[in-house]
Structure 1
């Protein structure tokens, strides 16, 4: 059964805290690489990195394909000390 919504001030989104680009899209930026791994398929090895995203807790870090992330955010890999 559905229950009635009780308004709460903490549910209000602060618009000044959300970064939007010129076309009003929210862009998430990676903060740091937490871990590296190589996922093995039958005949291929795919390097992946675990990324902590800005404005998200560490528990929500995601595994991303390294070469795709490197193409989008090359500065992230310069700061991590790897090439």
Structure 2
């Protein structure tokens, strides 16, 4: 079962009104609206962190390939 924590937050009136609008459209609570938004933010943040990590690993692999190119060509001459 999911545990929940009660929070008291203050929002600009414009965001509070938007949360009410979304809650009414989807027939969910404002808490669910906020929770869904935070879950989506967490998902996007994780994806961005993963993308950053993959790019860093690609750079490391390129550096390693350049560093070992000479040895590889000596070891496997038919790859020249």
TM-score (norm 1): 0.19
Choose 1 or 2 for highest CA Rg. 2
**Structure of higher RCO (CA pairs closer than 8 Å, 6+ residues apart):** 1
TM-score (norm 2): 0.19
